[in-house]
Amino acid sequence: MKIRAVEPIVTGTPEGEPSTPWSSTMVIVRVTTDTGAVGWGEAPTTLMTLPVRESVREVARFYVGRDLAEHHRCFQEFGRYSFYRTRSMEATAALSAVDIACFDLLGKEVGAPVHALLGGKLRDRLPAYANGWYSDCIEPEEFAEKARAMQRRGYRALKFDPFGDQYGTLSPDGLVAASARVRAVREAVDPTTDLLIEYHGRFFPEAAIRAGQELDRYGPRFMEEPVQPDLCDRLREFRHRVRTPVALGERLLTPADFESFLRRGLVDVLQPDITNSGGFTSGREIAGLAAGFGAPVAYHNAFGPIQTAATLQLVSTIPTFFLQESFEASWPAWKQRLVSGYSWEGGTFEVPNGPGLGIRVDEALLEKVRSDEMEPVGPEPPWVIGGTWVRRSPPPAGGPSPPRRARSK
């Protein structure tokens, strides 16, 4: 079975449906063989959507016309030719998406789920933590109300960013506001519910440490990316002065990156992203490193349903699996309809057992949301959960809020 085509597809917001960039923009990759079989992959976005799309076309040159069974060789050959791959998010994202699609095709060819190709799953259901649930939350009581709603849906772990528009430095008022938001959530939910604090890699070390020492009092399970990523060596000081464990990994691109952070004692909880750290091919190596260091693994999963399906296949095989990130409950309706085959009820995922990724993609809907546009910018960065950096305008009376991004074909 030879690979005939590798096609990147960018999605946007359908007209009339309110959405924000983090929930509407995706780069989906469709790989087709000469037998007509189709495999699906996904790559990250966040102000690199169109460069990633073009990088997929670069990667395709190493796969098209080759036998599917040679996909690992194609992976390695691209690494030799792509001089900056280990430092290029665009290159690793594109390669990861194609790798995921190849494993999807391999599973379909032999009639087995990807987790069987990786040695077999260790668990049937995966506990999830909710993200994206706190859109349009500024005041502490708004965070508390939505946190209670997620607990009623079965989630026993909630991740959120309490820092509003603070970036780099952290003002006294900004620290007071962040503490009030976390306290409100802590008091709103069951004491056994885990709180996970998202920093988004936004602070200089001094500000990150002050925030960590203040928020320690609420007993969070981890603090994610507390310092700006180019200052990561200062994480050693953060871990020395803050009690809460450090989680990171969504910006690390290779198994060697993860090994370096583990060996230097800069991280407690690993958060790889299957869509930018080498797909399943490198994912197996990262899982081995985590097991060797005894490090808990909580895969980053902030983009789309194909990413989720691939992640579930991989993490179900990892001995040190900890928690799985989930945005599903906060996606717009069209995105929830795009893929079927996995379930996420009661705060847990059920691992799919169908061939390949175990999913079905609604290709007619995919065509309707296809877009050639860049992600919008302002008044909030595209990585922000909408309405938490600045207060969004309320929707007009008698109708939905306008879309943040118009459909374009």
* Average of per-residue pLDDT across 293-303: 97
* pLDDT at res. 409: 39
pLDDT at position 123 over 50: yes
Residue appearing with tokens 């994206």:
132
Q: Which of 86, 87, 97 is nearest to 59 (CA)?
A: 97
Can you give the pTM of this predicted structure? 0.95
pLDDT at position 235 over 80: yes
Q: Where are the domains of the chain?
A: 116-357
DSSP 8-class letter at 233: G
pLDDT tens digits, 363-401? 999 999 999 887 777 788 888 998 999 998 764 454 433
* pLDDT at res. 401: 38
Question: Can you name the CATH fold of 116-357?
Answer: TIM Barrel (3.20.20)
SS3 257: helix
> What's CA 217's distance to the chain center, in Å?
28
* Average of per-residue pLDDT across 333-347: 92
Angle formed at CA 288 by CA 285 and CA 293, multiple of 5 degrees: 130
pLDDT tens digits, 140-168? 999 999 999 999 999 999 999 999 999 99
Residues that are catalytic:
200, 300
User: Mean pLDDT for the chain?
Assistant: 93
pLDDT at position 405 over 80: no
